[in-house]
Structure 1
Amino acid sequence: MATTVTPRRKRGLPLVRQLRQSVGLQRGMLVAGLVLTGLFLLTALLADVISPYGFSQLRDGSGSFGAQRPPSGDHLLGTTVGGYDVLSRVVHGTRTALLVVVVAVVLSIFVGVLLGLVSGYFGGWVDRVLVVVCDAIYAFPSLLLAIVVAIVISGGQSSLWGGILAAALSITVIFIPQYFRVVRAEVVRIKAEAFVESAKVIGAGHWRIMTRHVLRNATRTLPLILTLNASEAILTLAGLGFLGFGIEQTAAAEWGFDLNRALSDVTSGIWWTSVFPGLAIVLVVLGLTLVGESLNDLADPRLRSRRAAESGETGEVSVVPGGVLGAGPAGLAGIEEVR
Structure 2
Amino acid sequence: MTAPPASPAPAGPRALAWRRRRRAAARFWRAYRGHRAGLAGLAVLALLALAALTAPLTVGGDVASVTGAPGRPLEGPSGRFPLGTDRFGRDLLGLLVWGTRVSLLVGLLAAVLSVAIGAVVGITAGHFRGVYATVLMRVTDWFLVMPTLVLAIVLATVMSRSLGTVVLAIGITSWPTTARLVRAQTLAVEARPYIERARALGGGHGHVMLRHVLPNVMPLVLAQTTLMVSASVLAEATLAFLGLGDPAVVSWGGLLQDAREAGAVSSGDWWYLVPPGVAIAAVALAFTLCGRAVESVLNPRLGVGR
TM-score normalized by the length of structure 1: 0.77
Taking the aligned partners of 1:11 and 1:133, their CA distance within structure 2 comes to 37
1:28 aligns with 2:39: no
The residue identity in structure 1 corresponding to 2:80 is D
Deviation at 1:219, TM superposition (A): 2.3
Q: Do 1:183 and 1:219's aligned partners in 2 also have CA atoms closer than 8 Å? A: no
Deviation at 1:122, TM superposition (A): 0.6
Which aligned pairs between 1:225-236 and structure 2 lie closer than 5 A? 225-236=224-235
The residue identity in structure 2 corresponding to 1:256 is G
Q: Do 1:90 and 1:276's aligned partners in 2 also have CA atoms closer than 8 Å? A: yes
For residue 116 of structure 1, give the secondary structure of its aligned residue in structure 2. Answer: helix
Deviates more, 1:127-136 or 1:42-51: 42-51
Q: Do 2:119 and 2:221's aligned partners in 1 also have CA atoms closer than 8 Å? A: no
Q: Do 2:112 and 2:225's aligned partners in 1 also have CA atoms closer than 8 Å? A: no
1:217 alignment counterpart = 216
1:259 alignment counterpart = 256
Counterparts in 2 of 1:140 and 1:191: CA distance versus 1, 3 Å: same
Counterparts in 2 of 1:14 and 1:39: CA distance versus 1, 3 Å: farther
Q: Do 1:11 and 1:17's aligned partners in 2 also have CA atoms closer than 8 Å? A: no
> Which of 116, 121, 127 lines up with 2:133 in the alignment?
127
Deviation at 1:260, TM superposition (A): 2.0
Q: Do 2:233 and 2:280's aligned partners in 1 also have CA atoms closer than 8 Å? A: yes
2:105 alignment counterpart = 99
1:240 aligns with 2:248: no
Q: Name segments (4+ residues, structure 1) moved above 6 Å.
A: none
Provide, for residues 121-178 of structure 1, a one-character-per-residue CA deviation record: whole Å limited to 9, x for no partner.
Answer: 0111110000000110111112111101111222xxx3xxxx2111111110222212
The residue identity in structure 1 corresponding to 2:296 is D
2:142 alignment counterpart = 136
Taking the aligned partners of 1:303 and 1:114, their CA distance within structure 2 comes to 26
> Which of 114, 118, 122 lines up with 1:112 in the alignment?
118
Q: Do 1:47 and 1:91's aligned partners in 2 also have CA atoms closer than 8 Å? A: yes
Which aligned pairs between 1:38-57 and structure 2 lie closer than 5 A? 38-51=46-59, 54-57=62-65
Which aligned pairs between 1:5-24 and structure 2 lie closer than 5 A? 12-13=25-26, 16-20=29-33, 22=34
Which aligned pairs between 1:67-106 and structure 2 lie closer than 5 A? 67-106=73-112
For residue 223 of structure 1, give the secondary structure of its aligned residue in structure 2. Answer: helix
Taking the aligned partners of 1:101 and 1:289, their CA distance within structure 2 comes to 13
For residue 81 of structure 1, give the secondary structure of its aligned residue in structure 2. Answer: coil
Q: Do 1:59 and 1:65's aligned partners in 2 also have CA atoms closer than 8 Å? A: no
Taking the aligned partners of 1:40 and 1:104, their CA distance within structure 2 comes to 18
Taking the aligned partners of 1:111 and 1:10, their CA distance within structure 2 comes to 30
Provide, for residues 77-96 of structure 1, a one-character-per-residue CA deviation record: whole Å limited to 9, x for no partner.
Answer: 11101222211211111111
Deviates more, 1:76-85 or 1:222-231: 76-85
Q: Do 1:55 and 1:88's aligned partners in 2 also have CA atoms closer than 8 Å? A: yes
| RMSD, matched Cα | 2.3
1:192 alignment counterpart = 191
Please list every run of 5 or more consecutive structure 1 residues that lacks an aligned counterpart in the other structure: 1-5, 308-339
Deviation at 1:253, TM superposition (A): 0.6
Deviation at 1:59, TM superposition (A): 5.3
1:203 alignment counterpart = 202
Larger relative contact order (CA 8 Å, sep ≥ 6) = 2
For residue 204 of structure 1, give the secondary structure of its aligned residue in structure 2. Answer: coil
Taking the aligned partners of 1:177 and 1:256, their CA distance within structure 2 comes to 25
Q: Do 1:55 and 1:253's aligned partners in 2 also have CA atoms closer than 8 Å? A: no
TM-score normalized by the length of structure 2: 0.85
